[in-house]
Amino acid sequence: MNECQALLISAPSSGSGKTSVTAAIARWQRRLGRRVRVFKTGPDYLDPMILERASGHPVYQLDLFMGGLDHCRALLAEAAASADLILVEGVMGLFDGDPSSADLAAAFGLPVLAVIDASAMAQTFAALATGLQRFRADVSVCGVVANRVGSAAHGKMVAQGLPPDLPLVAALPRDESLSLPERHLGLVQALELPELDAQLDAWADQFARALEPDFEFPRVSFEGAAERFAGALAEADPQALAGRRIAVAQDAAFSFIYPANLDCLRALGAELLMFSPLQGQALPDCDALWLPGGYPELHAQTLRQHPSFFADLRQHLTAGRPLLAECGGMLCLLDQLLDVDGQPHAMAGVMPGSARMQSRLAALGLQAIDWPEGPLRGHSFHYSTLGTPLPASATAHNPNGGRTAEALYQQGSLRASYIHHYFASNPAAVAAFFKGQP
């Protein structure tokens, strides 16, 4: 059994400041020489990029739907074996979704630090905080952070009425200069923010100044095997991909990559070859290729100017080698991609059809889909619409009953979808695809 200090940082709603508070604590504690591990609840790529920079360690997902209870338990047990502090950033509001951040907190006994945007309230702050604390008996809200307070006097007002077992941990002043830029999928990627480290240090300084001196991080015991894929790989040959070279595009256009997906492929014996199309790097000599999601619409011209990328994709598919394209990775394979201004960009032309970016959300939700090799889980989040003559070989469903139901397209050795798949949900199926076995 491993024990260390731990917190789940949640809020009543999205936009309350969970990411900045989590990053501030991580950077502050890391500067004190402590070993910090950060996790993100639910499917997300952009927040983890910020949190990785803050903590100095890759940020993994804890998702009870995509990964399952045992997988999440193994990730936490592994982290607790070497960390001084574990931070878990929640998703949406504390009780939103199924599974919710509250479900995760209850499953692993994670104390909750609630971040509440206090900018438009005073004494009602305590009523909201107390409601969060008392809503579920199996969830422990141990403290609250008042974010975006207008003054010291405002900070004192929001603390009025808080019960003794729900202390105000910090009152953080409103400071627009410390906010991060956003685009249609959320925060701008960490690699696009040259001043990010300075901003993280500023967040850490602000939190350390505001922290109540008697606050102590609670301790939590994490038990369970630390082999994160032990259960998931039980039905798969642990060397199913031994000797297979899998190329993975990775740069600002193809950046939506779960660290657990890379770990899963390596655990199956694959050799991973990372390359950057935006830097003009050629497709490595490989047996299979993964084009993850990202922002190809922002880099369409650069992708077109790559000396061989589109031709390499055609040659790869002509040779019958597996290619998995997810969301943005799929868009770059189409005949045409129209940006949000309606400007057309010619793409690789290896998958018939076109896509159009739009200013409003097109799809969002967890997804479960049946591959020919077996069922997989993942999620969808995009601002584009797709038109293709290819028939869907399978259609996903949302476990929460939402409208999002993404199609899976197959053409020869190509498999494409808007779904961002979580490989640990079925390593055997993933291995069979990348090995080229139907």
Write out the catalytic residue numbers: 327
Distance CA 103, CA 134 (A): 15
The answer to whether the Cα torsion of 277, 279, 285, 289 is positive or negative is: negative
418's CB contacts (< 8 A; 6+ apart) are: 326, 327, 330, 363, 380, 382, 386, 406, 407
Give the H/E segment covering residue 76: helix 69-80
**Cα–Cα distances in Å, from 42 out to 16, 68, 106, 202, 320?**
17, 11, 15, 27, 34
Distance in angstroms (rounded) separating the CA atoms of residues 294 and 275: 14
Q: Which two tokens stand for residue 8?
A: 């789940």
Q: Are 40 and 10 in contact (CB under 8 A)?
A: no
> Is 297:183 a contact under the CB 8 Å cutoff?
no
CA 44 remoteness from chain centre: 2
For residue 138, which of 116, 113, 109 has the smallest C-alpha distance?
Answer: 109
Residue indicated by tokens 């797709």: 386
C-alpha distances in Å from residue 128, one per residue of 121, 146, 207: 10, 11, 22
Closest by Cα among 404, 402, 429 to 415: 429
DSSP string computed for 345-412: EE---SS--EEEE-SS--EEEEEEEEETTEEEEEEEEESEEEE-SSPPSEE-B-TT--S---EEEEET
Torsion of the alpha carbons at 192, 52, 422 and 233, rounded to the nearest 10:
140
Task: Provide CB contacts within 8 A for 381, sequence distance 6+.
Answer: 43, 185, 327, 361, 363, 364, 420
Query: What DSSP element (H or E) covers 51?
Result: helix 46-55
Phi, psi of 177 (to 5 degrees): -70, -15
